[in-house]
Structure 1
Amino acid sequence: MEIDSTDIIAFLIKRSGFSNEFEIPFSLIHHLAKVIESENEDILTFCDSVSIDAFRCAFTSNVVVEHSTIKIYNARKIRTNVERLLPPQRIMDLLEDINKR
């Protein structure tokens, strides 16, 4: 199974409750990806700047990348599209577990 930054970003936006303004440091995206990949041999992650920028390009009116942080504005406005980008439930459960640590 393969996941990329888009899966992780979509999960984090959903987890925020689709906050009006929300920031995600690249370091958090990379950390989550590394933990998932190191603990699950059947999952390969791609969290480079290209996959992060792909998310920004999909939502140019609501997403800005600045200083190694992705900033989301009016997340409720893009909720339906973000929900389509959510990873499979297994990945969301793993991400939730990592966030609880």
Structure 2
Amino acid sequence: MSTAEAGVVFHRAQGRTLDAFPEEQKRDQKSPFYFIQGADPQFGLMKSWSTGDCDNGEDEWGQEICLTEQAIQAINKLNPKPRFFVLCGDRIHAMPG
């Protein structure tokens, strides 16, 4: 995915405002909505914890990827669907390998 494509897919807040939805869509929003907040996935941390060495051993993301896929599948099954998903905190503990 190119940087330009990522800019279209991933919206970032600026000036304490998230401009991810068109004005007419915000104006027409009459029904309640909800969103999901995910926090601190820390890819690479599970293996570090399992080995008891949080300074090393973070060379695998397998468990975190599996859990992330399960979470996405569960979110995609929700009805009604959340309006958006926001991910906060530390996304990675360390890069693999």
Same fold (TM over 0.5): no
Q: Which has the higher contact order (CA 8 A, sep 6+)?
A: 1
TM-score by length of 2: 0.30
The TM-score normalised by the length of structure 1 is 0.29
